[in-house]
Amino acid sequence: MGLAALHFWVPSGGAGSSICLFRRTTGIPCPGCGLTRAFAHLAKGQWREAAADHPFSFVLATEAGIGWLYCGQALLRGRTVRTPRQEVVNPVVLGQVLALLFFWFGRLATGTLPW
């Protein structure tokens, strides 16, 4: 359902139309700014536009797809969906947050953030 909605949604740029509170108050895009627009571009098969809006969108979309397939397989087989142990999840989440910050600082320094 969400993928279909993103497929038909036409992203618009600019701080005025942003749902990001950080961007609305500071005028600077946050580390996650551009992800929704990038996911909309990915849903349409517009790879170049998705990369321009947020390069990390490919990683997050791939992880979401793998998670969706895993949950679907478990439900089809009548199994309960098991979540990973916390000692596995925490380093992964920390790594993703650090990668998002790395991308953000790099794009902020080079002036390539989607304004």
State pLDDT tens for residues 30-87. Answer: 888 888 888 889 988 999 999 988 888 999 999 889 888 988 888 888 888 777 776 6
Show the tokens assigned to 58: 């490919």
Residue (of 51, 65, 58) closest to 107 by Cα position: 51
Q: Is residue 58 included in any domain, yes or no?
A: yes
Query: The domain containing residue 100 runs over which residues?
Result: 2-110
Q: Indicate the residue type of 102.
A: F
pLDDT at 85: 72
pLDDT band for position 92 (cuts 50, 70, 90): confident
- Structure confidence by residue, pLDDT tens digits, 102-112: 988 988 898 88
Q: Is residue 115 included in any domain, yes or no?
A: no
Is 97 within 8 Å of 79 (Cβ atoms)? no
Q: Is residue 19 included in any domain, yes or no?
A: yes
Q: How many domains does the chain have?
A: 1
Q: Is residue 99 included in any domain, yes or no?
A: yes
pLDDT at 57: 92
Handedness of CA 24, 31, 53, 6 (dihedral sign): negative
Is the pTM value of this prediction over 0.75?
Answer: no
Q: What is the mean pLDDT of residues 18-27?
A: 80
CB atoms within 10 A of CB 38: 27
Q: Is residue 42 included in any domain, yes or no?
A: yes
